[in-house]
Amino acid sequence: MNLSELYVKKSYQIFAPILEPYLQYFESLRPDLRKAGIPYNLREYLSMAVMTVLVVFIIEFPLLSFITTFMFGNPPVAILFSLTISIGFSAMFFLFFYIYPSLQIGNRRKKIDYALPFATIYLATTSGSRMPPQNMFKVLLEFEGDSEMGKEARKIVRDTELLGISVIDSIKRVATESPSDSFSELLWGMSTTISTGGNLSMYLHEKAKSLMKEYKLRLEKYSSTLGTIVEMYLTLVVVGSIFFIIMSSIMSSFGMGGSMEELLIIAQFFVIFLGLPAINAGFIMLIKSLSPRAL
């Protein structure tokens, strides 16, 4: 048993009985945990969250109290201040645990949607050889590996080969738990086609054409958006920073006084060494978030 498994086990043993009456308030997390691919049930996840919040509070409160006592010179005020900050920080940790599954769902959805057109083409190609559906997903698993699409294919292979579930029921199960609506739609269509005896190869080929068309449209939209972002970057960062430096240098050359010159120097320092890197990092994060690729 590794350290993380031991941590989850101890958290569950301590907090699961205490949290039992409150699980009904967190039922919305149950499907999110499955869609996010988090390998814990609701009790385990909440127990781990509470344990983490408690550990953070136990470490943070005494440390802050010690530091703020020297800063304020007033122990009661320092303890009250540290208690307020520690409670707020611990609440932020719990909030992060609450929203993390949703963040992970969005991340998985983006990666699956990116790989979906190519995976559908692969499925359409293998279906043309009259290969059974469970074997099609097995081949897809070998092709995708440990990617998010590969994880979805692995679930179907596991259900059919290890658990003995029929391929139709397994496909429906994965379609229900998948974070990608497009992939769920593909799987529901496959299950319907298989159960009604339809032409699976034709369905997959038509779906591959449709998904590839949507993918090209996303690329065109991203290209247009990227052009707008580049214009904003050139205006705000390049032209704006040069204009600020020139204007502040001209102002300082007028002999405005020692304190004013120092203030301009400090402003230049913050803009050059803090403002510009922060803006650059923001633009990089914005471009990555808008990219149709799985970054």
pLDDT tens-place values along the chain, 295 residues long: 578 888 888 999 999 899 998 888 899 899 999 898 888 999 999 999 999 999 999 998 888 888 888 777 778 888 888 888 889 888 998 999 999 999 899 889 988 988 899 999 989 988 877 788 888 888 888 887 778 898 999 999 998 988 888 889 999 999 998 999 999 999 999 999 998 888 998 999 999 999 999 888 888 888 888 888 888 888 877 787 788 777 777 776 665 555 666 677 777 777 777 778 888 888 888 887 777 664 4
pLDDT (0 to 100) of residue 295: 45
Residue by residue, DSSP assigns 108-155 as HHHHHHHHHHHHHHHHHHHHTTT--HHHHHHHHHHHHTTSHHHHHHHH
**DSSP states of 45-92:** HHHHHHHHHHHHHHHHHHHHHHHHHHHHS-HHHHHHHHHHHHHHHHHH
Please say whether the beta carbons of 140 and 122 come within 8 A.
Answer: yes
The C-alpha atoms of residue 195 and residue 89 are separated, in whole angstroms, by: 53
Q: Measure the CA–CA gap between 119 and 286, rounded to whole angstroms.
A: 27
Q: Which helix (H) or strand (E) holds 195?
A: helix 181-195
- pTM, to two decimals: 0.74
C-alpha 210/C-alpha 202 separation (Å) is: 12
Q: Is the dihedral of CA 180, 184, 185, 186 positive or negative?
A: positive
Query: Whole-angstrom Cα distance, residue 295 to residue 277?
Result: 21
Report the C-alpha gap between 126 and 15 in whole angstroms. 49
Question: Per the structure block, which two tokens stand in for 262?
Answer: 């120092």
Break the chain into its structural domains and give their ranges: 3-105, 110-213, 215-290
SS3 232: helix
Which has the closest alpha carbon to 43: 16, 6, 21?
A: 16
Does residue 28 contact residue 20 with C-beta atoms inside 8 Å? no
- Other beta carbons within 10 angstroms of residue 73's beta carbon come to 9
The answer to whether the Cα torsion of 256, 259, 260, 262 is positive or negative is positive
**pLDDT given at position 247:** 79
- φ/ψ of 292, rounded to 5, equals -75, -10
The residues, any chain, with a CB within 8 Å of residue 53's CB and separated by 6 or more, are: 90, 91, 93, 94, 97
Helix (H, G, I), strand (E, B), or coil: what is residue 212?
A: helix
Nearest 5°: the CA angle 46, 48, 51 is 110
DSSP for residue 28: T
